[in-house]
Structure 1
């Protein structure tokens, strides 16, 4: 009986210590999260709630440096493809009350 308890305790410890598997963020993920921002980034006006919700969600997904670098690069690629107003992109995190550790700009060095 004591051996069974020990085995159960060891299995429980392995489950607790086992790292949670995560998947890498893709540009598709980024695009879907910021889709609600497109009209604002092209035309200005009020920032839609869906935009800020997407920015918050994206920020929560990008916890590691490689994830943040991927998001940064995807945002740059998307910004160039759809011709947004750069000044609106730069102010978006503040307007959504989200702290992003880099400036959203086509000139940002995403490798840092």
Structure 2
């Protein structure tokens, strides 16, 4: 009988450990590009110039990515590189894409831009770079 109780306790502990491993996300997780694009796929009509404003679904997905980017530098850089690549290879209206952060109230500074430097250290530096670029271009 004691052996059955001990075995039951061991099985219980093993089950808890497995559940903890399954539900715990890695601390250095980096979002995959397909996942990032999938979250903003609803923005396609806006960033290609087919729509005049981004949809609510577009902004919801963009805000989700914005939170991920703000919480993790590796994720921020992965999202930035993904969007940079997408802007270089897809028919993106860059002027419209640069409006997306303001129209969706995003704070991480990531935009869909083929010329952005994703190696910058913080989302604040990216936002400052974008604002400086807009100031120079707007003059």
TM-score category (smaller protein): 0.7 to 0.9
The answer to whether structure 1 residue 110 and structure 2 residue 114 are counterparts is no
Unpaired segments ≥5 residues, structure 2: 1-23, 121-139
TM-score when normalising by structure 1:
0.75
8 Å contact from structure 2 (residues 83, 111) kept in 1? no
TM-score when normalising by structure 2:
0.61
- 1:45-84 aligned at under 5 Å gives the runs 45-62=52-69, 63-84=71-92
Larger radius of gyration: 2
Choose between structure 1 and 2 for higher RCO, CA contacts under 8 A separated by at least 6 residues: 1
Runs of 4+ in 1 over 3 A off after TM superposition: none
Structure 2 CA distance for partners of 1:48 and 1:98, relative to 1, 3 Å: same
Q: Which residue matches 1:6?
A: none
The number of residue pairs the alignment matches comes to 93
Q: Residue 25 of structure 2 is aligned with which of 21, 26, 39?
A: 21
Unpaired segments ≥5 residues, structure 1: 1-19
